[in-house]
């Protein structure tokens, strides 16, 4: 049974090996140059921080940036594609062609037949995705270290452990869809749709609730970033937090009772911000802006000082130290979901499939 399953999976395995080798060669050839660019970028940032007169430090990586986006997109798509092209046809194709009956009449039980297929192809799915994730994590580590944004919606699911959980889930989802639908093409389409919906739902609605966030109370002056209008709303102070490596949910300006700072309070307490001297711009619409040098900056500082007696900043965030905990939690959830789907497959193959 194992030999037969290996023979059936041989073509997909060679294609996966070839793509992994091609990706490894591409990343190995560009990785040192990328590390050199970001090493120079880190030195420029350090020199800028030590200087009293320094503008923004930027880096241009040209084609490497396009390569990063391409590989990141591929790594997001690979678990879903594995589920559609490896998982969905695994059982549905045999059910369509009736070849499963031949195996079941050769002293091979239904449970063993399914177990061998799940173990063999499932392990290959997780291994292939894990190798790709390992290569991408190594290659992009200079950028991740410079950006300090490991919790980003895209980056979190493209690095380290989580792709392994996605691969296990995608494969088990494909097998389950194939077993229930019993037609290869509809099962493939269903797998892609459900996997994409599950990933997006978890990324944007579930992940933030895996761990209760931490709360940081800080002086008003440390969170105020500027003064302006948001989507043509009334002018107000804009707040932001500088917590390198953390996942910041929100930064709010509140009083001792937890009530937020209103534009009416700002207007009555800081009229100089609303009526700047000639030559200084007023609040910009549509986004937070840094107040320019001169009288406008002095007015902002005076406003912050005046309001500091009654208001402070509250930052809701996940500390950078929780990155690996969240990685393990999310991976474990998807692996558990894969195990649940595998249990459904065993139940169906023993009681319903024929």
Report the candidate in 293, 164, 178 with the shortest Cα–Cα distance to residue 226.
293
CA distance 144 to 181: 42
Q: Following CA atoms 137, 332, 184, 104 in sequence, which dihedral angle do they give, to the nearest 10 degrees? A: 120
Domain map (residue ranges) of the chain = 7-49+62-209+322-351, 214-318
β partners of residue 312: 219, 254
What is the rounded CA–CA span in Å between residue 134 and residue 34? 17
Residue 208's Cβ-count burial label (10 Å; 0-12, 13-18, 19+) is middle
Buried b (16+ CB within 10 A) or exposed e, 324-346: eebbebbbebbbebbeebbeebe
Count of Cβ atoms closer than 10 Å to residue 222 Cβ: 15
d(CA 349, CA 110): 7
Alpha-carbon gap, residue 6 to 351, rounded angstroms? 26
**What's the N-to-C CA distance of the chain in angstroms?**
19
Contact residues for 335 (Cβ-Cβ < 8 A; gap 6+): 164, 165, 168, 169
Contact 122, 168 (CB under 8 A): yes
Angle between helices 63-82 and 110-147 (to 10 degrees): 160
Q: Note down pLDDT in tens along the chain; length 354 residues.
A: 677 667 778 888 899 999 999 989 988 988 887 777 777 766 666 666 566 555 555 555 556 667 777 777 788 889 999 999 999 999 988 888 766 665 656 667 888 888 988 999 999 999 999 999 999 888 888 877 776 678 887 789 888 999 999 999 999 999 999 999 999 999 999 999 999 999 999 999 999 999 999 999 999 999 998 887 777 778 888 898 888 889 999 999 999 999 999 989 988 888 887 765 555 555 554 444 444 556 678 888 889 999 999 999 999 999 999 999 999 999 999 999 999 999 999 999 887 655
Angstrom distance (rounded) from CA 156 to CA 163: 9
**Could you tell me the pTM of the whole model?**
0.84
């Amino acid at each position: 049974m194992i030999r037969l399953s290996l023979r059936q999976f041989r073509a997909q395995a060679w294609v996966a090996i070839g793509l992994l080798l091609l990706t490894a060669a591409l990343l190995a050839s560009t990785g040192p140059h990328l590390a050199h660019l970001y090493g120079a970028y880190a030195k420029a940032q350090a020199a800028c921080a030590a200087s009293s007169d320094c503008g923004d430090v930027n880096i241009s990586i040209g084609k490497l940036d396009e390569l990063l986006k391409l590989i990141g997109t591929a790594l997001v798509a690979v678990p879903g594609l594995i589920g559609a092209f490896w998982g969905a046809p695994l059982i549905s194709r045999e059910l369509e062609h009736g070849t499963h009956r031949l195996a079941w009449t050769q002293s091979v039980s239904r449970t063993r037949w399914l177990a061998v297929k799940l173990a063999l192809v499932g392990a290959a799915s997780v291994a292939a995705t894990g190798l790709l994730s390992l290569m991408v994590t190594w290659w992009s580590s200079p950028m991740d270290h410079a950006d300090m944004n490991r919790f980003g919606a895209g980056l979190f699911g493209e690095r380290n452990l989580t792709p392994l959980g996605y691969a296990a889930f995608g494969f088990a989802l494909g097998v389950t869809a194939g077993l229930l639908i019993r037609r290869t093409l509809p099962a493939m389409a269903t797998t892609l749709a459900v996997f994409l919906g599950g990933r997006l739902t978890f990324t944007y609605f579930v992940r933030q609730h895996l761990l209760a966030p931490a709360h940081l109370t800080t002086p008003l002056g440390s969170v105020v970033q500027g003064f302006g209008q948001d989507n043509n709303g009334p002018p107000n102070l804009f707040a932001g937090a500088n917590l390198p490596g953390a996942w910041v949910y929100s930064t709010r300006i509140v009083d001792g009772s937890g009530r937020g700072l209103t534009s009416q309070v700002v207007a009555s307490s800081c009229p100089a911000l609303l009526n700047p001297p000639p030559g200084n711009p007023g609040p910009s619409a549509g986004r937070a802006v840094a107040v320019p040098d001169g009288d406008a900056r002095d007015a902002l500082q005076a406003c912050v000082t005046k309001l500091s007696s009654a208001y402070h900043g509250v930052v809701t965030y996940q500390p950078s130290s929780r990155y690996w905990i969240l990685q393990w939690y999310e991976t474990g959830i998807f692996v558990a979901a894969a195990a649940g789907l595998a249990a459904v497959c065993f139940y169906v193959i023993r009681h319903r499939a024929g």
